[in-house]
């Protein structure tokens, strides 16, 4: 695993990260490192704090205690960078009145585009060819998820934060996600994804961590 490049500074690291809402500890203290080419699966049941962790890592929530490091530097000391992380949340951040193509164009303008890929290629990769000019409102849940996955393909970010990426996808869709994760890792990227544990990523290598109170 990360023994391949023992001295590489991990892209992302969590040090004693915890989050509490009022008196209730949601997760933590949590320690992990995420190096380039790694995929980390955070498993947990309902209420284990998976979505909360993703939101903390994405910078939406401030951690209760602990810190997050990006390439060894505390995230709070760094300037924000649009191309640093790509987020795929529960809600897909797609405007339902716009077409898939219009949504993707907006995402590119917002966070940049990875070199070597076009919108058309991304749409084809996720199996939405022919649906790119339909309003997202008219797409099924699975097709919307695929649109969000296309946005992920177009993102230049090295680190992907995915909250339940397999949700709403059929068997083909799950295979698609696995392929995307492999390709992302081979390009040097890294991923943290959450899962209920029912669908196991079929990846050549990944680490799993069970999330909960205490880490």
Q: What gap in Å lies between CA 156 and CA 115, rounded to an integer?
A: 7
Query: In Å, what is the CA distance from 79 to each residue of 14, 25, 125?
Result: 18, 29, 33
The yes or no reply on residue 146 touching another protein (CB under 8 A) is: no
137-141: long-range pairs with CB below 8 Å, 24+: 137/96, 137/97, 139/100, 141/168
Task: Name residues contacting another protein, limited to 153-172 (CB under 8 A).
Answer: 156
Q: What gap in Å lies between CA 212 and CA 92, rounded to an integer?
A: 25
Residue in 32, 64, 68, 105 binding another protein, rule: CB under 8 A: 105
The yes or no reply on residue 113 touching another protein (CB under 8 A) is: yes
The yes or no reply on residue 66 touching another protein (CB under 8 A) is: no
The yes or no reply on residue 141 touching another protein (CB under 8 A) is: no
Contact segment (CB under 8 A) with another protein among 25-33, 36-44, 75-83, 184-192 equals: 75-83
CB of 105 to another protein, least distance (A): 8
Q: In sequence order, what are the beta bridge partners of 193?
A: 41, 162
The yes or no reply on residue 115 touching another protein (CB under 8 A) is: no
Closer to another protein by CB, 107 or 206: give it: 107
The yes or no reply on residue 58 touching another protein (CB under 8 A) is: yes
The yes or no reply on residue 83 touching another protein (CB under 8 A) is: yes
Contact segment (CB under 8 A) with another protein among 69-77, 88-96, 119-127, 191-199 equals: 88-96
User: What stretch of H or E contains 73?
Assistant: strand 73-74
Residue in 14, 38, 42, 55 binding another protein, rule: CB under 8 A: 55
Q: In sequence order, what are the beta bridge partners of 8?
A: none
* Burial environment of residue 168 by CB neighbours within 10 A (0 to 12, 13 to 18, 19 or more): middle
Residue in 64, 66, 112, 142 binding another protein, rule: CB under 8 A: 112
Q: What gap in Å lies between CA 95 and CA 81, rounded to an integer?
A: 23
The yes or no reply on residue 108 touching another protein (CB under 8 A) is: yes
Nearest Cα to Cα of residue 75 among 7, 12, 166: 12
Binding footprint of another protein on the chain (CB under 8 A): 22-23, 55, 58-62, 80-85, 87, 89-98, 102, 105-106, 108-113, 135, 156
């Amino acid at each position: 695993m990360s023994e391949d490049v023992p001295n590489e500074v991990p892209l992302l690291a969590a040090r004693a990260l915890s989050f509490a809402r009022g008196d209730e500890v949601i997760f933590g203290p949590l320690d992990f490192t995420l190096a380039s080419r790694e995929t980390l699966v955070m498993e947990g049941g309902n209420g284990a704090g998976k979505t909360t962790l993703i939101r903390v890592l994405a910078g939406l929530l401030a951690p209760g205690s602990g810190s997050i490091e990006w390439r060894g530097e505390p995230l709070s000391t760094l300037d924000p960078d649009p191309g640093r992380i790509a987020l795929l949340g529960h809600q897909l951040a797609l405007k339902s009145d716009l077409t898939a193509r219009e949504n993707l164009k907006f995402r590119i303008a917002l966070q940049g585009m990875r070199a070597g890929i076009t919108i058309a290629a991304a749409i084809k990769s996720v199996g939405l060819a022919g649906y790119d000019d339909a309003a997202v409102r008219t797409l099924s849940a699975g097709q919307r998820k695929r649109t969000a996955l296309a946005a992920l393909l177009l993102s230049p970010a090295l680190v992907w934060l995915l909250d339940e990426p397999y949700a709403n996808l059929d068997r083909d869709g799950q295979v698609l996600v696995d392929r995307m994760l492999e390709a992302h890792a081979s390009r040097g990227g890294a991923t943290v994804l959450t899962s209920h544990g029912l669908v196991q990523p079929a990846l050549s290598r990944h680490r799993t961590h069970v999330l909960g109170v205490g880490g």
